Amino acid sequence: MLSILKNAWYAAAYSHEVGAEPLARTLIDQNAVLFRGEDGEVGMIVNRCPHRFAPLSAGKQIGDTLECPYHGLRFNRSGHCVFNPHAKNKGPLRAADIKAWPVMERYGIVWFWPGDPHLATPEALPRVDFLEKPEEYALVRGLLHVRGHYELVVDNLLDLSHAAFIHPQFSGGNYTAEQLLAATSQRLERREGSIVNHRLRSGLGPSSAHVNLFGMDAATPVHTDTTMTWYPPAFLDFAVGSWEVGQDRETGVHIPQLHFITPETEFTSHYFFVNGRNRRQDEPEVDKAMLDFFDLAFGQQDEPMIEMVQRNMGTVSDINELDPILLPTDAAPVSARRMLAAMIAAEQAAEVGPGAAGESPTREDSPALS
């Protein structure tokens, strides 16, 4: 069974995905539909009419409602059935009300909150510096489907020592995995509500992306920062930058990234990513090159490995149940798993009485947030 932290924001879709047509998507083991009303606000409700269980995503958007394609019941963003064409007064049918989730849009992403709607505040989503400076960074975005438990994806991002083995072509030069690991220092920082894995590689040449796309000299020694900050449950802020040894960090090429992992099911995940860059911002061919780079590294290399790991785990979704051996490089993912497990346990212990996180929120309970 999928176990998640309910009182948290999860990425549901990019804003541009929710337009004139409803968007069906499985999220946290729930069949959901997102739609945008005439007023521009987004709603997310269960993708199943309670009458004959037709998918509402196959219906029509009428005003700020979604009409069932089978018998014409209409539902608003609160999940309320506000129109029944079979009743004399064509009015609401409260017995047909369905589940809705609090949503908000920020950074070009639609976020949803599975837990207590009264806790769904904008402040609960981490602020991201580079996404709030569009004049300084060009952005590209993407979405991958991962055939693995969402915490396996988080593990992969928090332990970047694997890059020396899975992604050697991106490291630049003809360095061996041993040389790359020896040149990299790692420091783990446990903060309240986050884990930071500081990684700094010094004295080797820049990565192939920094050379081929941004003109850095392959023979010039650089500092390369690949520091990952994890916020529970699966929001990762990735600082990626290279600058010449002896120069200030600000002089370098920086490619900040964000990774948002949303469980689809117990064994599959949606992987949202945003990449920024502070060089060659207005060149579409660089946008494409960055997306190709991400597709190769994560889509063609990391994702198949995560899928193979998940397959080897059989019906187990929590890798700790299989008692894996641990390496020094596992400190960050192990710390994150422990923090998340403690938060989930505390949340489950508190879920008693009215207003518990498991109750179905409505839009009146939790209006659209900004």
| Tens-place pLDDT, residues 137-160 | 999 999 999 999 999 999 999 998
What is residue 364's predicted lDDT score, i.e. its pLDDT? 42
**Class of the 123-347 domain?**
alpha beta
CATH hierarchy code of domain 10-116 = 2.102.10.10
Round to whole Å and give the CA distance between 106 and 290: 23
Residue of higher predicted confidence among 365 and 240? 240
Query: What is the maximum span of the chain, computed from C-alpha positions, in angstroms?
Result: 79
Band of residue 354 on the pLDDT scale cut at 50, 70, 90: low
Round to whole Å and give the CA distance between 7 and 114: 6
Residue 350 CA from chain centroid, whole number: 26
Which pair of structure tokens corresponds to residue 98?
Answer: 């369905």
What is residue 163's predicted lDDT score, i.e. its pLDDT? 84
Whether pLDDT at 355 is above 60: no
What is the DSSP-derived secondary structure letter of residue 366?
S
What is residue 362's predicted lDDT score, i.e. its pLDDT? 45
What is residue 165's predicted lDDT score, i.e. its pLDDT? 86
What is residue 79's predicted lDDT score, i.e. its pLDDT? 98
Instruction: Determine which helix (DSSP H) or strand (DSSP E) holds 152, and give its type and residue range.
Output: helix 150-158
Domain segments of the chain as ranges? 10-116, 123-347
- Mean pLDDT, rounded, for 111-129: 95
User: How would you list the strands of the sheet with 10-14, edge to edge?
Assistant: 10-14, 109-112, 103-106
The rounded percent of the chain whose pLDDT value lies above 90 is: 72
**Which of 34-43, 127-136, 170-179, 183-192 is least confident?**
170-179
Instruction: Output the DSSP codes for 117-136.
Output: GGG--GGGSPP-TGGG-TTT
Which pair of structure tokens corresponds to residue 365?
Answer: 């309970």
Band of residue 173 on the pLDDT scale cut at 50, 70, 90: low
Whether pLDDT at 9 is above 80: yes
Instruction: Spell out the long-range contacts of 345-351 with Cβ–Cβ below 8 A and sequence spacing 24 or more.
Output: 347/5, 347/6, 347/7, 347/115
**Which of 19-23, 332-336, 355-359 is least confident?**
355-359
Band of residue 73 on the pLDDT scale cut at 50, 70, 90: very high
Domain 123-347 in the same topology as domain 10-116: no
Which pair of structure tokens corresponds to residue 172?
Answer: 């630049």
- Mean pLDDT, rounded, for 154-175: 83
DSSP 3-state of 186: strand
